[in-house]
Amino acid sequence: MKRIEAVNDFVIKFANVNGSGSASANELFAKAVMRMGVPVSPRNIFPSNIQGLPTWYEARVCEKGYHGRRGGVDMMVAMNPQTWDADMAEIEPGGYLLYDSTRPIPPDRFPDGVLVLGVPLTEIVNEAYADPRQRQLFKNIAYIGALAALLDMEDGVFEKLFAEQYRGKERLLDANMKALHLGRDYALAHLPCPLGLRMRRADRVGDQIFTDGNSAAALGLIYGGATVAAWYPITPSSSIPEAFEKYCHKFRVEASTGQHRFAIVQAEDELASIGMVVGAGWNGARAFTATSGPGVSLMTEFIGLAYFAEVPVTIIDVQRGGPSTGMPTRTQQSDLIACAYASHGDTKHVLLLPQDPHECFEHSAAALDLADRLQTPIFVMTDLDIGMNQRLCKPFVWDDARSYDRGKVMTREELEAGKDFGRYKDVDGDGIPWRTLPGTHPTKGAFFTRGTTRDPYARYSERGTDYVYNMERLLRKFRTAASLVPQPVLRKAAQPTRFGVIYFGSTSPAMHEALDVLQAEGVHLDALRLRAFPFPDSVPEFIAAHEKVFVVEQNRDAQMHSMLVNELDIDPARMVRVLHYDGTPITARFIAGAIRKNMVWHKEYA
Amino acid sequence: MTFIAKPRLHHPTLQTNKVGYTRRDYEGRISTLCAGCGHDSISAAIIQACWELDIEPHRVAKLSGIGCSSKTPDYFLGASHGFNTVHGRMPSVLTGANLANRELLYLGVSGDGDSASIGLGQFANAMRRGVRMAYIVENNGVYGLTKGQFSATADQGSKSKKGVVNNDSPVDLVGLALQLGATYVARSFSGDKEQLVPLIKGAMAHGGAAFIDVISPCVTFNNHGGSTKSYDYVRQHNDAVSRIDFITPGQEITAQYAPGELIEVSNHDGSVLRLRKLHADHDPTDRYAAMNYMHQHAAHGEVVTGLLYLDPLATDLHTALNTCAVPLASLGPDRLCPGAAALEKINAALR
């Protein structure tokens, strides 16, 4: 069996028990890789549980900077006896296994052809520490120490990371360093360090930042001026309002009074959380909620109201596996249709489709502007893969000259000057009416907001002509939205091609890698990354310019494909579905495989 | 029901209040409810209360859910912004609106179906949070717009117009409001304007969550023998705990009362509620005593009305959240956005 040998290009997976403190040790490993100038993309694979069940941390080390999940495991750090056999089966032939050898494991439980590296972690930490909790926590740090030696990682990066983390807590700093050295020293003395699988300093990280999409979205909402947040806890979105609150306490507390320039309410359910956001938006505040698919299901009545009564609303949907409770801790892009057409009657909603934490920040800030400009719900469609995993991405950017677009809000002065106010009247031809905020003027501009049909002056009406005027205007407004939302990003193939591919959101890193792989094989595809719904004209133009267009997405029913067919009247035969929906993040291997297979099937390339 | 708009002409002698408005300025559109509907009396009481309180109409935001009662905000305070939301969800929308702009006065109008059936959860949680508002439930025990089905406040054993007997226990919104922490709890009757107007004034001036359950007979579907929400039944069983005067700041107090007969409670805006006690054993400042009193009398079939409980030191959700004095909706990027330099520091910490 040929041993896997690779420098700065491998997948290492940590099999742990949740609640054991492994998460911070594993993150330490990822950060150390990054500090050596090598990109890394870790993913938490965790159960819907707090303590005692299996959890995994899969880190892809990749000097080329591909952040998509690769698939396959080159090295397994097996710390969970419950999942031992399944974990062994995942190791690639010629791979490596690091395990706690304190207790003997029968030889037949080790897979053939895997280099087995035993470290008596329990024994080592039990000798060094008396406190049971410390034994538990430092066992994790000790296996990181062993890895540091095995993978030839620089000692200095760990020291620096510990120093940053435990600034002012020298006792903890020393204890962690000790644990790291216990593991490292054992490995150096007893194991074949360094392995064929190893690290080498590079310069491929640059000024990128390492963060998760949920924190980034929360920060975007801070920068975008959200003041009211109402939410109901749901995986995988809860860390958005929690991060928002953390940032609020940092940036939004008045120094002189200690008072808050924000209001956060944990509501009794998603109906109430969206209701509060609708009320705050109606009254002129920038408000948001964060949720996931089941929450969107509960919110749909209010989403219809906000669409029809034209109230600014921002919803961050961190998608997870559906339907129903589905796979709460796994990723999917399966809420697209539920959000794009949420609520009864004819509705269409704006969706933004960020690809990474950088865009979670950008799109969340933009959503608040768009909600005010368009006076309608704006969805930011992130997912568990982007939301809850740390990812290397471009640093956040903010232009201090940027102001907030509050949209068409008629002022007291304009009303006083006698400007005509028809709440649901299209005076500018873009379908967007003017609104007034409660309390603006003593006698002018008040209106009654309702979910029932009304005439352009907001008077109750069940006349067909009034209804049609309103519905047509809403369509016109939706068309206006297409030019205001983030535009698609085109990546041209190295040479002219008849084939195209459409993708979006968290599929991006795997897609980019797949395009490189296919190009190396002589398969060329132009690629269009969608960043929003509704689709601007560049989308039908792209499809028209190619004989065949692959649509890559992470759901069973090809929801984006359906939306393209539905909105653009495109012949479905022109588009090929590439669907990944088992709850794990899509991989370049999967995408390239699906496209390759389709091409061969049709003998279109060879 | 009429479609003839009221002329906007004002009689020259029409009295103006301290902010220069006549009573007509607090009216809305013509009601489309059935002639004799209790809800129209409540609208009239709201108009009267706001006029007497010298509130500028546009400083009020009026919100409602869905149903006959929830249509009424269109029929009063025409110069106020109104929001007819979705069924049973007025409390959450009002909560959000209140968080956005703490300077306005909030009037929530709901019905028994809206608050006790479909919206019980939102009602309960708004009370718990202490959202500052006057929350009025126009309680008739039936669904009017869908033609006479029982709501959750219908009394056990009461009979529908079609002769069906209600077997389910009633939801008592007053009892719930007391238990859940509302700081101003009252029950009234749409036919008793003398009691209702000062109760609404007290609720509008209150510093926290004020709840008034107003029994408001449905003349079309629930005003027959066997109903416990009919005009006749409520008149016969109405047992008021006190007579209420609402005294605005600076108003001279002239009448004299025997000790123990009178309770005066100051509101945070300086106004005073003066309660002339009709029942010596009722103490409106003791939440648990009020709950007991109400339950004991309800057991005898009496409909206890009046101001049942009041916490004069009430605070609200804004106090709990420690929000700034200026409305959140009025803050711009200078007060909200940390800026590029702070973002650069965040970037640096993420490397």
Tokens for A487, please give them.
């535009």
pLDDT at B151: 94
Please report the residues numbered 371 through 400 in chain A whose beta carbons come closer than 8 angstroms to any beta carbon of chain B.
Answer: 395-400
- Residues in chain B with CB shorter than 8 Å from the CB of A205 are 351
What is the H or E stretch that residue A158 is in?
helix A155-165
pLDDT digits (tens, 9 = 90+) for A100-143: 999 999 999 999 999 999 999 999 999 999 999 999 999 999 99
Q: Could you give the ipTM of this predicted complex?
A: 0.95
Q: Which residue of B has its CA nearest to A435?
A: B81
Q: Do residues A64 and A139 share a domain?
A: yes
- Residues in chain B with CB shorter than 8 Å from the CB of A448 are 73-74, 81-84
Q: Is the pLDDT of residue B162 over 60?
A: yes
| End-to-end alpha carbon distance in chain A | 32
Angstrom distance (rounded) from CA A392 to CA A404 = 28
- Residues in chain B with CB shorter than 8 Å from the CB of A397 are 340, 343
**Burial tier of A516 (Cβ tally within 10 Å: 0-12, 13-18, 19+):** middle
Q: Do residues A504 and A592 share a domain?
A: yes
Q: Do residues A222 and A349 share a domain?
A: yes
Contact yes or no for A449 and B82 at CB 8 A:
yes
Contact yes or no for A272 and B81 at CB 8 A:
no
**Closest partner residue to A438 among B61, B91, B335, by Cβ?**
B61
Indicate the pLDDT class of residue B265, thresholds 50, 70 and 90.
confident
Q: Where are the alpha helices (DSSP H) in A531-587?
A: 538-544, 559-568
Angstrom distance (rounded) from CA A421 to CA A523 = 58
Q: Do residues A95 and A14 share a domain?
A: yes
Contact yes or no for A262 and B328 at CB 8 A:
yes
Contact yes or no for A436 and B81 at CB 8 A:
yes
Domain-terminating residue out of A420, A449, A484: A484
**Chain B touched by A337 (CB under 8 Å):** no
Residue B164 burial (CB count, 10 A): 12
Q: Do residues A431 and A349 share a domain?
A: no
Structural domains in chain B, sorted by start: 23-333 (3.40.50.970)
- Counting the structural domains of chain A, the total is 4
**Burial tier of A428 (Cβ tally within 10 Å: 0-12, 13-18, 19+):** exposed
Please report the residues numbered 90 through 129 in chain A whose beta carbons come closer than 8 angstroms to any beta carbon of chain B.
Answer: none
CA distances from A113 to A10, A14, A119, B115, B134 (A): 17, 19, 19, 68, 75
Q: What are the per-10-residue average pLDDT scores of chain A (606 residues)?
A: 95 93 94 97 88 92 96 96 96 97 94 96 96 93 97 94 90 92 97 97 97 98 98 97 98 97 98 98 98 98 98 98 96 98 98 98 98 98 97 98 97 97 98 98 96 96 97 98 98 97 98 97 97 98 97 98 97 96 96 93 57
Planar angle of CA B341, B346, B347, nearest 5 degrees? 95
**Chain B touched by A222 (CB under 8 Å):** yes
Contact yes or no for A227 and B125 at CB 8 A:
no
Q: Is the pLDDT of residue B155 over 70?
A: yes
pLDDT digits (tens, 9 = 90+) for A498-544: 999 999 999 999 999 999 999 999 999 999 999 999 999 999 999 99
Q: Do residues A215 and A159 share a domain?
A: no
Whether residue A361 is contained in a domain is answered as: yes
- Percent of chain B at pLDDT > 90 equals 80
Contact yes or no for A283 and B97 at CB 8 A:
yes
Question: Which of A353, A360, A351 has its CA nearest to residue A394?
Answer: A360
Q: Is the pLDDT of residue B79 over 80?
A: yes
Q: Do residues A135 and A227 share a domain?
A: no
pLDDT digits (tens, 9 = 90+) for A156-194: 999 999 999 998 888 889 999 999 999 999 999 999 999
Indicate the pLDDT class of residue B249, thresholds 50, 70 and 90.
confident
Instruction: Determine the average pLDDT of the residues in B252-258.
Output: 61
Domain-terminating residue out of A427, A449, A484: A484
Q: Do residues A532 and A546 share a domain?
A: yes
Planar angle of CA B309, B311, B313, nearest 5 degrees? 170
**Closest partner residue to B331 among A261, A275, A449, by Cβ?**
A261
List the domain range (segments joined by +) for residue A494: 489-601
pLDDT at A72: 93
- Residues in chain A with CB shorter than 8 Å from the CB of B91 are 272, 275
**Chain B touched by A370 (CB under 8 Å):** no
Indicate the pLDDT class of residue B267, thresholds 50, 70 and 90.
confident
Indicate the pLDDT class of residue B254, thresholds 50, 70 and 90.
low
**Burial tier of A448 (Cβ tally within 10 Å: 0-12, 13-18, 19+):** buried
Q: Do residues A102 and A229 share a domain?
A: no
pLDDT at A110: 96
Q: What does B166-230 look like in DSSP terms, one character per residue?
A: P-SPPP-HHHHHHHHT-SEEEEEETT-HHHHHHHHHHHHH-SSEEEEEEE---TTTS-STT-SSS
Angstrom distance (rounded) from CA B291 to CA B288 = 5
pLDDT at B7: 65
Q: Which residue of B has its CA nearest to A226?
A: B336
pLDDT digits (tens, 9 = 90+) for B197-230: 999 999 999 999 999 999 999 999 999 999 999 9
Whether residue A440 is contained in a domain is answered as: yes
Contact yes or no for A451 and B322 at CB 8 A:
no
CATH number at residue A183: 3.40.920.10
What is the H or E stretch that residue A528 is in?
strand A526-530
pLDDT at A606: 45
Q: Distance, in angstroms, between B297 CA and closest chain A CA?
A: 32
Whether residue A403 is contained in a domain is answered as: no
Indicate the pLDDT class of residue B1, thresholds 50, 70 and 90.
very low
pLDDT at A603: 62
Please report the residues numbered 148 through 207 in chain A whose beta carbons come closer than 8 angstroms to any beta carbon of chain B.
Answer: 205, 207
